[in-house]
Amino acid sequence: MFIPKRILFEKDALKYEIGNNIYNFFKDNKNVEIIELHSNKIKENIPNDNLYNFYREGKKTLVVGIKKGMNFQSCKPSAHYQLPLMSGCTGHCHYCYLNTNLGDKPYARINVNIDVILAQAQKYIEERLPQETIFEGSATSDPIPIEPYSNALKHTIEFFNKSDKGKFRFVTKFTDIDTLLDINHSGNTEIRFTLNTNMVIKNYEERTPSLEKRIEACIKIIKAGYPMGFIIAPVFIYDNWKEDYRNLLVELNNSLPKDILYPLTFEIISHRYTTRAKNIILQVFPNTGLPMKDEDRIYKYGQFGYGKFVYTKQQIEEIKEFFNKEIECIFKNKIIKYII
């Protein structure tokens, strides 16, 4: 569970239930500074003499605000739309794509007007009838670390529990999932975990739970009857990478219950980075060992119009061949959604 150093409440955020939940949880904690904003100027309340320190102070900060615009962004290939519950993450993963999306906003932010957000989701569902509409709850965030005191995911899962054509999914590296285990969900919410090899977690995923702890949380989720999925990302090519990823898949299969209600889903994403992200990463993690030599990659434009440095076509094919073969051999009841 994330215990922030400071919480910034934007104007009127305390008029909402989630805002009050968070305030009441921390109001007597002398180690947490509570600041009620009047101008909604975030950066002025976070020490920011340089990016290195601003990143670390930002990661200790929770902003409680109100979502203004209600046009949801698309979210291919994960879902039809992003569901903007929150943004940011409390982990310190060197490679994180949020270094591009939220480079100057390293703090976690939660939107308290969840009923308005879910009402907009319902409009999108109705527009696409009779087809199903899938919403991604973690496109720009990891929502789990603040869930124990916000209950935003619980509220959302209960909303989709009653939906015939709406589906919800989110992904996390964190393990504070106990408050989600007794919710009626009707299989309409898929919970996924981001997994990686011990080498990647140790070197690039600071302040996140171990692989063992993540798998323990996965077992709880499956026993609670949720559809379960895994994002293996980012996949790095390094010495013995195939052996390490094979061991990861075998350990996962050996640990999970066999009587699962839904097929396990897999999404595999190879490592990529933008020039902007690289520049930020090198300022925030000056000693990082991330493989970011532009000459070793090819430059490719993505769906949002900006380019990324990705593995070569031959390397991507090798990654696809490896994971298709290994997942097919190791797991029985599974679906590989994509490998990119």
pLDDT digits (tens, 9 = 90+) for 270-306: 999 999 889 999 999 999 999 999 999 999 986 666 7
124 in a domain, yes or no?
yes
Percentage of residues in the chain having pLDDT higher than 70: 97
* Number of domains making up the chain: 1
What is the per-residue pLDDT for 304? 61
For the whole model, what pTM was predicted? 0.93
178 in a domain, yes or no?
yes
330 in a domain, yes or no?
yes
What is the per-residue pLDDT for 98? 76
What is the per-residue pLDDT for 170? 97
1 in a domain, yes or no?
no
Q: Which residues of 64-76 are buried (b: 16+ CB within 10 A; e: fewer)?
A: bbbbeeeebeebe
Distance CA 132, CA 125 (A): 7
What is the chain's Cα-based Rg? 20
Which residue, 54, 340, 299, 1, is CA-closest to 174?
1
Is 80 exceeded by the pLDDT of residue 100?
Answer: no
pLDDT band at 239 (very low <50, low <70, confident <90, very high): very high
pLDDT band at 49 (very low <50, low <70, confident <90, very high): confident
Q: Which residues of 32-45 are buried (b: 16+ CB within 10 A; e: fewer)?
A: beeeebeeeebeeb
Instruction: Indicate which CATH number applies to the domain containing 276.
Output: 3.80.30.30
Is 70 exceeded by the pLDDT of residue 101?
Answer: no
| Sign of the Cα pseudo-torsion (197, 200, 203, 207, in order) | negative
Mean pLDDT of 85-109: 86
Three-state secondary-structure class, residue 211: helix
Tell me the two tokens of residue 221.
Answer: 């989720």
Percentage of residues in the chain having pLDDT higher than 90: 88
285 in a domain, yes or no?
yes
273 in a domain, yes or no?
yes
Is 90 exceeded by the pLDDT of residue 337?
Answer: yes
pLDDT band at 102 (very low <50, low <70, confident <90, very high): low
- The answer to whether 232 and 195 are in contact (CB under 8 A) is yes
Range of the domain at 26: 6-339
239 in a domain, yes or no?
yes
Mean pLDDT of 50-60: 92
- At position 127, the amino acid (one-letter code) is E
User: How far is the CA of 263 from the CAs of 157, 215, 221, 222, 227, in angstroms?
Assistant: 20, 17, 13, 11, 7
212 in a domain, yes or no?
yes
pLDDT band at 185 (very low <50, low <70, confident <90, very high): very high
Mean pLDDT of 148-166: 97
Distance CA 74, CA 82 (A): 6
